[in-house]
Amino acid sequence: MSVLVDEVMKLSPPPSDQKASSKDFQSDQDVRWCPGCGDYSILAQTQRVMPDLGIPRHRMVFVSGIGCSSRFPYYMNTYGFHSIHGRATAIASGLKMARPELSMWVVTGDGDGLSIGGNHMIHLLRRNLDINVLLFNNQIYGLTKGQYSPTSEKGKVTKSSPFGSIDYPFNPAALALGSSATFVARTLDRDPKHMQAIIKRAAEHKGTSFVEVYQNCNVFNDGAFFQFTEKDTKDDTVVYLEHGKPLTFGKEKDKGIRLNGFSPEVVSLKDGKWSVNDLLVHNEKDTTLSFILADMTYKAGLPRPIGIFLAIDRPVYEQEMVRQIVFAQEKRGDGDMVKLLNSGDTWTVQ
C-alpha cells in the first residue's frame, strides 16, 4: 500500500459508524425505480444485511454499469461508482487490485453483466478476485424500454423481436460455473429472508461471489418469475439447495430429486417407491454436482434450483498479486529509483 493511502487508512471512523443500522446505509438520494420494481426489495435486503457484516460503510464500494440495476450505488451510503455499460466488473477489478482491503460489490443486470459485459464477467470469475457480484436478472432490457435480453426465453415477443426472439438464452449459473467461479448462487426478489442469507454468504466468501437474483420487471416483463415466487405455484416449481440436505420440494415436501445416471429426475416420496434416502444430497463443495444442478435450470419437468450451487476456496487474485510484490521486495529490497536509473551499461562523458 502506498504511503498516502496508508495515511488515509489510519484515520479513525466517526462514532456513528460503529454500530450501524440499515438506515445508515441509505443515501440521501430519492430512489427512482418504477413503483413495484423488484429492485426495491434487493436494495432493502442489501441494506438490511450490511450492518451484520461488521464492515464500516466507508470501506465499502458499490460499482455498477448501465441499466436499471446499475442505479443501485446512488442509493447506498457507501462509496460508489456508476460507470459505463458492461464494465463494472473490470472497474471493480482494478479498484480491488489497488485496494485489496475494501469490501467490493458489483451490481449489474442480465444485459449489463451477460451481454455487453459478458467478457469481463467470465474473466472476473476465473481470476477469482474477492468481489461480490449481484446480477439482477429480469430477462428483459428495462432502461431501453423492453427489448429481449440474453436471458430472455426463446420466442419472446418484444419491441425488437416482434416475431419472437430466435436467441437461445444464457443460463447464468451454468455460465458462471463454466467460467470457474468459486461461489455461485441464485435467489429471488420476493423471498427476502433467502436473499439476505445468500447476500451474507456471498459477502463472507473469499473470492468472486456470483449471485443471480430473479427480479421482476413489472413494466416490461411482469410475472416472468411468478411461477417461482407466488404462493400457489412456488412450492411445486422451486427446489431450495441446502448444503448437506436432500433435495425435496412440494408443499408437503413430498417430492424429491434423485440422480438417474447423471440426470436429475423428480420422484414422489408418497407412493412408497422412493424415500428421502434415495434423493440427491446437496454438497456445495462438489463442482461436478454444481454443473448438474445448474443444468436443471431450463429443463422441462424439473423444479428451478434456488440457493447456493457452489462455494469452494481457491486462491484470491489480488492476494496472489500482493504475494508476488512482497516476495520481490523481500528478495530485491524496496525499489530504489536512483539505482534503477543508473543500472545497466552506462558511461560517463567528462
Of residues 307-326, those binding another protein (CB under 8 A)? 321, 324-325
Give me the DSSP letters along 257-277. Answer: EEEETTEEEEEESSSSS--GG
Residue of 37, 68, 91, 188 that binds another protein (CB under 8 A): 91
Considering only residues 217 through 276, tell me which ones interact with another protein, judged by CB under 8 A. none
Q: Which stretch binds another protein (CB under 8 A): 7-15, 201-209, 289-297, 298-306?
A: 7-15
Considering only residues 101 through 130, tell me which ones interact with another protein, judged by CB under 8 A. 101-102, 119-120, 123
Residue 63 interacts with another protein (CB under 8 A)?
yes
Residue 18 interacts with another protein (CB under 8 A)?
no
CB closer to another protein out of 261 and 344: 344
Residue of 48, 51, 59, 265 that binds another protein (CB under 8 A): 59
Considering only residues 157 through 176, tell me which ones interact with another protein, judged by CB under 8 A. none
Residue of 42, 95, 184, 269 that binds another protein (CB under 8 A): 95
Side-chain-side CA neighbours of 201 within 13 Å: the count stands at: 23
Dist CA 167 CA 289 (whole Å): 27
Q: Could you tell me the three cell numbers for 61?
A: 464500494
How many residues contact another protein, by CB under 8 A? Answer: 73
Kind plus residue range of the DSSP H or E element containing 177? helix 172-178
Considering only residues 286 through 305, tell me which ones interact with another protein, judged by CB under 8 A. none
Side-chain-side CA neighbours of 24 within 13 Å: the count stands at: 18
**Closest approach of Cβ 311 to another protein, in Å?**
25
Dist CA 35 CA 108 (whole Å): 20
Residue of 35, 193, 272, 337 that binds another protein (CB under 8 A): 337
Dist CA 207 CA 315 (whole Å): 8
Contact 120, 161 (CB under 8 A): no
Residue of 92, 199, 280, 308 that binds another protein (CB under 8 A): 92
Q: Which stretch binds another protein (CB under 8 A): 70-78, 135-143, 200-208, 291-299?
A: 70-78
Kind plus residue range of the DSSP H or E element containing 41? helix 39-53
Kind plus residue range of the DSSP H or E element containing 239? strand 238-241
Residue 12 interacts with another protein (CB under 8 A)?
yes
Dist CA 162 CA 247 (whole Å): 39
